[in-house]
Amino acid sequence: MTPLRQRFTEDMQLRGLALTTQRSYTHYVADFAKFYNTSPEHLDLEAVRQYQLYLLHEKKLSPESINTFVSAAQFLYQVTMEMPWSKDSFPRMKRPQRLPVVLSPAEVEQFFQHVPGLKYRAAMMTCYGAGLRVSEAVALQVSDIDSQRMVLRVQQGKGQKDRYAMLSPRLLAVLRTWWRAARPYSWLFPSWREGRHLTAASLQKACLDAWKQSGLTKRVTLHTLRHSFATHLLENGTDIRVIQVLLGHSRIDTTARYTTVTPQLIGRTISPLDRLVEPQGKRRNQ
């Protein structure tokens, strides 16, 4: 490992970047150096710009992937190498606005009917029933279930934050059935490898298989279940600020995008025009 890469890794650790983010940044910076066949310390902003164009036109990466490279390069040069380059020196691509795929309650039921195995079914129902990210669901411990207060404790979710998620009576019944069958001791959803929990990749693969068997035309991922959880809460009248807390969003505008995918809620909303009181004289003339 070169001294620069060692320093880069240490800086990411000191600033508390998630392991997945650290791996991603290291990957993009390594490919950047390999493209020019030289260390990034010998490259400048124009090299970063030309590499962005290469990723866009030659590699045809998505705006999200290109922006991840930009974030990695910005961290490397501004933090690790302490270059006096402003944030504006690292332009980002505009990401297209896409509505998340949302299942109806009937489609959710249909999907769950095709999930094989009690463990996978319980884990996926946790993603939907509590609105958890896949990484949060697989990392649950038995001690995180608080049946007295009907909450799930999510330890070190995205952004390394603890929070509480809802534990519905039906989800509690499913988890109890799973616990009685498998008697997990530490991890709620243990892996076949001793001392480890179920991997996100394994659960995602099971979700893909279940979707193919379900016959649903909408593509179903574990994040689709999370989107559906938030949308169904909003359609049932739950305050968006409560949904923000349940999802673990730092910003309300991240949660607000669900308002664009709830036509039922829009249809039930009363227009201010309908609340106006017409003058008495005008009514008699009609």
- State the 10-residue block means of pLDDT for the chain, 286 residues long: 93 90 95 96 95 95 94 96 94 82 91 94 94 93 93 78 88 94 94 91 95 95 92 86 85 74 62 66 54
pLDDT tens digits, 61-87: 999 999 999 999 999 999 999 999 999
254 and 121 part of one domain: yes
In a domain, 118, yes or no: yes
Our answer to whether residue 258 is catalytic in this structure is yes
Choose, from 133, 197, 227, 232, the residue flagged as catalytic: 133
pLDDT more than 90, % of the chain: 66
The pLDDT of residue 255: 77
Choose, from 92, 153, 223, 257, the residue flagged as catalytic: 223
The pLDDT of residue 20: 85
140 and 28 part of one domain: no
Choose, from 5, 92, 153, 158, the residue flagged as catalytic: 158
pTM, two decimals, is 0.70
186 and 52 part of one domain: no
The pLDDT of residue 214: 95
Q: How far apart are CA 51 and CA 36, in angstroms?
A: 9
Choose, from 197, 226, 227, 232, the residue flagged as catalytic: 226
Host domain of residue 12: 3-89
208 and 149 part of one domain: yes
Our answer to whether residue 223 is catalytic in this structure is yes
The pLDDT of residue 24: 95
Our answer to whether residue 232 is catalytic in this structure is no
For residue 166, the 8-state DSSP code is E
22 and 151 part of one domain: no
Q: How far is CA 280 from its chain centroid? A: 54
35 and 142 part of one domain: no
241 and 142 part of one domain: yes
The pLDDT of residue 59: 94
27 and 118 part of one domain: no
80 and 210 part of one domain: no
Our answer to whether residue 120 is catalytic in this structure is no
C-alpha dihedral over 13, 19, 22, 24, to 10 degrees?
A: 180
In a domain, 9, yes or no: yes
* Nearest one of 223, 221, 231 to 255, comparing CA atoms: 231
Our answer to whether residue 133 is catalytic in this structure is yes
Q: How far apart are CA 173 and CA 150, in angstroms?
A: 12
Give yes or no for a contact between 231 and 108, defined as CB atoms under 8 angstroms apart: no
In a domain, 132, yes or no: yes
